[in-house]
Amino acid sequence: MSLPKAELHLHIEGTLEPELAFELAARNGVELPYADTDSLRTAYQFEDLQSFLNLYYELMAVLRTERDFEDLANAYLARAAAQGVRHAEIFFDPQAHLARGVEMGTVVEGLWRALGSSARNHGVSTQLIMCFLRDESAESALETLDAAKPYLDRIVGVGLDSAEVGHPPVKFREVYEAAAALGLRRVAHAGEEGPPEYIVEALDVLGVERIDHGLRCVESPELVARLVRDRVPLTLCPLSNVRLRTVDVLGDHPLPAMLDAGLMCTVNSDDPAYFGGYAGDNFEAVQQALGLSEERLRELARNSFLASFLEHDEELRAR
């Protein structure tokens, strides 16, 4: 769907399509434990978040050089542009690369080669959000923030992702305080598989401005009331929720009820190479499965710009 929109929840490593994975594997002499793209695709049957993350981290082995990260980002930006994305706030997971001996500079400079020229080449403005892996230690997150210091002119904010349950936001209080002191914007995944309390903690302890997913807020009427009152944006990812089985079928997704309740929802793709579609595909899927009106779709698109870290005058020009 080509309605102009901003994408606010997108992991660049989750845009690695099987074809590019094999191309990069060949280029870098990396052996993948799959015979071909078809057999790799058959592995895309997930039970839950962890079963997806296992494959997501495994395939990252093919990303080694600046050029690899540049090619990955350019491929995403071309697809996103074709689906109406005009602005993208892109997550990356440096710890997953540092652990494999790929340096922060390789990742950021490589992504920047594509992002720096994206407005010109793809008509998509971009920002980078560095995520901490919540199943790694708090010390590792602090070291990662330190390693990013030479690149802070290219990073708008920090996020928190990976395995949620058992890794509450409070674990990352110190690194979020340090990020805030550096002038970085703050977001966090919360309430994807984890309980509503993690959403409350992300707001109260980490001081986040947006909640990534936030789906499980619907279990707490007090929390919903707070999110509505404070206009806290939620970056929902409907196709991801189905593939990771937090929602049984798209027709059961709570998005319409969330909009009716007055929540500031946005629709995003999360890891589109793995979950069956990019931003426009997610819009189309919810329109079809949930019968959303044109007005609701326009509201979702408008919310995406309002919830972005673009200045709002830029947003108005983008539309």
State the binding site for Zn(2+).
9, 11, 189, 270
Which is closer to ligand ADE, CB of 70 or CB of 212? 212
Query: Taking the complex as a whole, how short is the minimal distance between the CB of residue 124 and Zn ion, in angstroms?
Result: 19
Which is closer to ligand ADE, CB of 49 or CB of 184? 49
- If one asks whether residue 270 binds Zn ion (CB under 5 A), the answer comes out as yes
Residue ranges for the known binding site for substrate are 271
- If one asks whether residue 136 binds ligand ADE (CB under 6 A), the answer comes out as no
- DSSP one-letter string for the chain: --S-EEEEEEEGGGG--HHHHHHHHHHHTPPPSSSSHHHHHTT---SSHHHHHHHHHHHGGG--SHHHHHHHHHHHHHHHHHTTEEEEEEEE-HHHHHTTT--HHHHHHHHHHHHTTHHHHHS-EEEEEEEEETTS-HHHHHHHHHHTGGGGGG--EEEEES--TT--GGGGHHHHHHHHHTT-EEEEEESSSS-HHHHHHHHHTS--SEEEE-GGGGG-HHHHHHHHHTT-EEEE-HHHHHHTTSSSSGGG-SHHHHHHTT-EEEE--BSHHHHT--HHHHHHHHHHHH---HHHHHHHHHHHHHTSSS-HHHHHHH-
* Binding at 192: pick from ligand ADE, Zn ion, none (beta carbon under 5-8 Å per type): ligand ADE
- Name residues contacting ligand ADE, limited to 49-68 (CB under 6 A): 49, 56
Spell out, one character per residue from 13 to 52, where the chain touches ligand ADE: x when CB under 6 A holds, - when not.
Answer: -x----------------------------------x---
- If one asks whether residue 270 binds ligand ADE (CB under 6 A), the answer comes out as yes
**Catalytic: 192?**
yes
Which is closer to ligand ADE, CB of 165 or CB of 228? 165
**Residue from 13, 17, 192, 193 carrying the catalytic annotation:** 192
- If one asks whether residue 95 binds ligand ADE (CB under 6 A), the answer comes out as no
Distance of CA 243 to the CA centre of its chain: 15
Contact with ligand ADE (CB under 6 A) among 79, 122, 189, 216: 189
- If one asks whether residue 243 binds ligand ADE (CB under 6 A), the answer comes out as no
Contact with ligand ADE (CB under 6 A) among 17, 66, 70, 271: 271
Residues at the interface with ligand ADE (CB under 6 A): 11, 14, 49, 56, 161-162, 189, 192, 240, 270-271
Residues at the interface with Zn ion (CB under 5 A): 270
